[in-house]
Amino acid sequence: MMKLVKSLALGAAMAFAMGVAPAMAAKDMVTVGLQLEPPHLDPTSAAAGAIDQVVYSNVFEGLTRFAADGSVIPGLAKSWEISDDGLTYTFMLHDGVTFHDGTTMDAEDVKFSLDRARGEKSANAQKPLYVGISAIDVVDPLTVKITLAKPNGAFLFNLAWGDAVIVAPESIEDIKTAPVGTGAFTFDRWLQGDSITLARNENYWGKPAALSGATFKFISDPSAAFAALMAEDIDVFANFPAPENLGQFEADPRFQVLVGQTEGETLLAINNKQPPFDNLKVRQALAYAIDPQSIIDGAMYGLGTPIGSHFAPHHPAYVDLTSNVSHDPQKAKALLAEAGYENGFTARLMLPPTAYARRGGEIIAAQLREVGVETEITNVEWAQWLEQAFRGKDYDLTIISHTEPLDIGIYARPEYYFQYGNAAFNGVIAELDVTSDPQKRTALLQQAQRLLAEDQVNVFLFQLANPVVARTGIEGLWKDAPTQAVDLTGVSWTK
C-alpha cells in the first residue's frame, strides 16, 4: 500500500514536471513573447522600445498616458488646467496613489522625475522633449505647477511618453533591475536572457488588473517565435516577426491575429547633402523608380500602408500624399537625364538588420537598377548604423523605420542625418511648437507634410504594421501601437 502511495505521489510529481498541472489551473496569467529583451527596466534612461514594451502602463505611469487609439488621456494626473498664455500647466494628482514599495506618490515625486529628465545630468533619451520646462513647483502634495519657457502644443503628448513616467527618489537607485512604479503590476523577477515576470498590484489606486500576473519571454529568432506559439508555450506575441506565418495562425482556431498600425514611418532615407542627392530631380527620380506597394508585398507579405510623407496615416492630421508620385521608371529616367545623369550612377545602400530593411533593400536595388542607378549594398548591425549613418552621416541611402510617435519635427533639427535644412520647413515646425490650438496645429502639420513631400526629402515607403498573434479568448490587447507598449492592464481571458 505504501508503495502504491509512493508511486502515485511520484506520478503526480512527474505530471507536474511535465507541465500538466499548470494547464488545469484557471487562466488568469498570460505569457507574452517579445523579440528583444530590454537591457534594463528604466524607461527614463534609454531609447530601447523593449523597456517600454514591458513596463509602460504596466509598471510605470506618467501624468498623462496613451490610450489604445493613440489619444492622450489622464494618467496619474486626474485633471489639469492650462493658463491662457499656454505657459503654465497645473496638474491635479490622484489621491492615494502609492508606489509598489509602499511610499506615497505626490507632487514631490513628479518634480523629482521631471527634473531628472530635463536636468543637466539627464541621460533621458527624449531629453529634447522636456528641456522646454523652465520650472516645476509643488503647490501642495496633490498639485504641481509646471511652467514652460515657451508654449508647447505637444506638451501633454510628450508627458505621455514612457520617458516621462513618474519615479520615486527612494527607489531610483535600483530602478534598472528592480523597478518600482505606481502601475497595476509590480515587478516580480527577471531571469536574464529568458523572461521577466510581473504580478498584479493588489494595492493599485485605479481599476485593478484582471490578470493575476504576466510573463514576458524573449525570443529573438522568428522561427523559434513561431514554434513557441504553436507549441502553446506563449499566449501572445507582440509585433510578431515572421509575417510569412500569419496566414497559418489565421487559419488555426487556437489563434487570433490582430494587424494594427505602429508609429513607424519606413523610409528610404537619403543623404540630402551628398551629391547627386542634393539635386531635387535625383531624389524625385528615386521616388518614381521605387514602387512602395511591391516592397510591402514582397518584403512584408502585404503588411503595411503606403505613405506619401513622414506622417502616420491613422493620425487625424494626416494628408494623403501617396498619389504625388507614382511608380514610373520612364519618368524616373527622364528626371535623371534632366539632372545630367542619363547614364545613371552608383550609390551606396546601407541596410540595418531588420527584415523590412534587408528584404526591402533587395527589391529597391532591383528597381533602381531598372532606371540605371546601381547600388552597393552594405549590411550593418544597429550599432554600426548608428555610428556611421546616424552620427557620422556617412551614407548615401539607407532603409529605416522611425518609430517615435509624431516625430515630423526631426526634419527641422540641425545636423540631423537626412541633412535636409529647409528654412521654410523649420519655420513651420517652430510655429507648431508654440501653437496649442488644435485646428491651427492640424493646418501646420499638414503644411509640414506637404513640404517634405514636395522636397522629396526621403522616399516615403510605408507605415510599419503591428501584427499581434494571440490565443483565442484573450481580450483587451492593443491592436495599434501608439507607443511601443504591451499594455496588459485591460487584458483578460474570456470566461
Partner 1 sequence: MLRYALKRLISLAVSLLVASVIIFIAVEIVPGDPASYMLGLNAQPDTVAQLREELGLNVSPVERYVSWVWGMVQGDFGTSYTYRTPVAEMIWQRGQVSLPLALFALLISTAIAIPLGVIAAGRRGTGVDVGLSTATQFGIAVPNFWLGIMMVLLFSVSLQWFSAGGFPGWQAGFWLALKSLVLPAIALAVPQAAILTRIMRSSLLDTLGEDFMRTARAKGLSRNQALWRHAFRNALIPVLTIIGLQFSFLIAGGIIIEQVFYLPGLGRLVLQSINARDLIVVESVVMVLVFAVIVVNFAVDLAYAAVDPRLRRRV
Q: Which residues sit at the interface with partner 1, rule CB under 8 A? A: 17-19, 37, 39-40, 45-48, 121-129, 176-177, 191-195, 217-221, 223-224, 227-228, 230-233, 381-384, 386-388, 390-391, 402, 404, 407, 410
Q: Closest by alpha carbon to 239, among 46, 58, 36, 51?
A: 36
Residue number, 374 or 381, with CB nearest to partner 1:
381
Q: Can you list the alpha helix ranges (DSSP code H) found in 243-339?
A: 246-251, 280-289, 292-300, 329-338
Residue number, 284 or 401, with CB nearest to partner 1:
401
Residue number, 126 or 324, with CB nearest to partner 1:
126
Write out the H or E segment, with its range, that includes residue 29: strand 29-34
In the complex, what is the shortest distance from the CB of residue 184 to partner 1, in angstroms, rounded to a whole number? 25
| Contact between residue 164 and residue 130 where contact means Cβ atoms under 8 Å apart | yes
- List the beta strands (DSSP E) in 385-426: 397-402
Phi-psi region for residue 102, left (φ > 0), alpha (ψ -120 to 50) or beta? left
Q: Closest by alpha carbon to 245, among 431, 467, 445?
A: 467
Residue number, 191 or 424, with CB nearest to partner 1:
191
| Contact between residue 105 and residue 99 where contact means Cβ atoms under 8 Å apart | yes
In the complex, what is the shortest distance from the CB of residue 375 to partner 1, in angstroms, rounded to a whole number? 21
In the complex, what is the shortest distance from the CB of residue 141 to partner 1, in angstroms, rounded to a whole number? 31
Residue number, 204 or 226, with CB nearest to partner 1:
226
Distances (CA, A) of 189 to 25, 102, 196, 215: 21, 18, 6, 9
| Contact between residue 179 and residue 55 where contact means Cβ atoms under 8 Å apart | yes
Residue number, 20 or 424, with CB nearest to partner 1:
20
Q: Would you state the cell numbers that stand for residue 84, as one nine-digit string?
A: 491662457
Q: Would you state the cell numbers that stand for residue 216, as one nine-digit string?
A: 514576458
Q: Closest by alpha carbon to 478, among 318, 317, 314, 259?
A: 259
| Phi and psi, residue 345, nearest 5° | -160, 180
In the complex, what is the shortest distance from the CB of residue 24 to partner 1, in angstroms, rounded to a whole number? 15
In the complex, what is the shortest distance from the CB of residue 128 to partner 1, in angstroms, rounded to a whole number? 6
In the complex, what is the shortest distance from the CB of residue 126 to partner 1, in angstroms, rounded to a whole number? 5
Residue number, 99 or 190, with CB nearest to partner 1:
190
* DSSP secondary structure string for all residues of 87-112: -EEEEEEPTT-B-TTSPBP-HHHHHH
Residues belonging to the chain:
495
Taking the CA atoms of residue 151, residue 153, residue 154 and residue 156 in that order, the dihedral angle to the nearest 10 degrees is 80
| Contact between residue 452 and residue 310 where contact means Cβ atoms under 8 Å apart | yes
HSE-CB of 67 using CA atoms within 13 angstroms? 5
Residue number, 49 or 292, with CB nearest to partner 1:
49
In the complex, what is the shortest distance from the CB of residue 231 to partner 1, in angstroms, rounded to a whole number? 4
In the complex, what is the shortest distance from the CB of residue 221 to partner 1, in angstroms, rounded to a whole number? 5
In the complex, what is the shortest distance from the CB of residue 432 to partner 1, in angstroms, rounded to a whole number? 17
Residue number, 354 or 492, with CB nearest to partner 1:
354
